[in-house]
Amino acid sequence: MSKPLQGRHFIDTQEWTRDELELVLETSSDLKRKFYRDEPHALLRDRTLFMLFWEQSTRTRNSFEAGMTQLGGHAHDLSPEKLQVSHGETAQDTARVLSRMGHGIAIRNCDWGKGNAFIRSVAALSRVPVLNMQCDIFHPCQAVADLMTIREKFPDGLRGRKIAVSWTYAPSYVRPISVPQSTILMMSRFGLDVTLAHPKEFKLMPEILAQAQANAAANGTKFEMVDDMDAAFEGAHIVYPKSWGCLVTEPDRQAAVQHISRYPDWIANEKRMAMAAKDAIYMHPLPASRGQEVTDAVIDGPQSVVWDEAENRLHTAKALMALTM
């Protein structure tokens, strides 16, 4: 396997060219075929990935860990309590040590205002590639898996198709803004017209919105913002409704939950799915709050592709590791 991306950090999809991301997608599809045919693909034999999780994870943790096993290597499942980071050892010193012992470092740290900075501090001193498994600003691994899924469902092309990225109600906890931010950045570069919908409190970062606008201008797509979930769903080919916190306008967690609780009607239901295009697909990165973000009838219905989307986290994580490590 030629490895033009060997040694590269993967923190934000904007830092990789379209050709580089195309290579990730091609490699993901190739590894998916090999997985289904049970063909050996031990591209990372005897290699070690250190995974540092500040938060819980089902899809990301298991896609990277299972992926490393399937590629012939091993992943260490680490958290701050298992490391001297919990006693104050710096990101820089942790990076220096781990990068002398293995071949890749993957980090999830969604702490608002700190997560991305931590990952970039590690990357600055790491001798091995650093992969962003979600931070406060980006979730690039989710965006790659989502684009792979969308292409599989619309094999005749994405040009002229609309994706509705909408906020939804879910007051159980304050979710990061990294998924909608990475989604609007990625899809506006790869042929989709993007409509972003949210109540006024749930703004994304202004610089990310500006990048999405610039992506659309450079790639012949559209990027628009609305404050109405119905308007976003109208005619959409892909609906991507999920909850996020009002971190940009109200970082206080308790106050944020108050804001969320004002919008229980922002839910993906059958009525809204009927407003979308006939062949529309329903996506969600998961975990989804059933009955709050989405009805059972929609997430378990014929238009839902969430299980394919979750599975593609495995194939894309493997591609990212195989290409960079």
The CA angle 170-171-176, to the nearest 5 degrees, is 70
Q: How near is the Cβ of 145 to ligand CP at its closest, in Å? A: 8
Find out whether the peptide bond into 171 is cis, omega within 30 degrees of 0: no
Q: How near is the Cβ of 55 to ligand CP at its closest, in Å? A: 7
Q: Do 215 and 13 contact (CB within 8 A), yes or no? A: no
In the complex with ligand CP, the residue whose CB is nearer, 99 or 134, is 134
Rounded Cα distance, 8 and 325, in Å: 8
Burial of 272 (0-12, 13-18, 19+ CB in 10 A): buried
Q: How near is the Cβ of 178 to ligand CP at its closest, in Å? A: 9
In the complex with ligand CP, the residue whose CB is nearer, 28 or 60, is 60
The CA angle 52-57-61, to the nearest 5 degrees, is 60
Q: How near is the Cβ of 70 to ligand CP at its closest, in Å? A: 18
In the complex with ligand CP, the residue whose CB is nearer, 152 or 234, is 152
Q: How near is the Cβ of 156 to ligand CP at its closest, in Å? A: 27
Q: How near is the Cβ of 63 to ligand CP at its closest, in Å? A: 8
Q: Which of 245, 20, 12 is nearest to 139 (CA)?
A: 12
Q: How near is the Cβ of 147 to ligand CP at its closest, in Å? A: 14
Contacts of 222 (CB under 8 A, 6+ apart): 193, 194, 216
In the complex with ligand CP, the residue whose CB is nearer, 62 or 269, is 62
In the complex with ligand CP, the residue whose CB is nearer, 48 or 142, is 142
- Strand extents, DSSP E, the chain: 48-53, 74-78, 104-109, 130-135, 162-167, 193-197, 223-226, 238-242, 281-282
Locate 42 and state its tokens. Answer: 């031990």
Locate 322 and state its tokens. Answer: 């195989």
Would you tell me which residues interact with ligand CP (CB under 6 A)? 57-60, 134, 142, 285-286
In the complex with ligand CP, the residue whose CB is nearer, 17 or 69, is 69
In the complex with ligand CP, the residue whose CB is nearer, 221 or 312, is 312
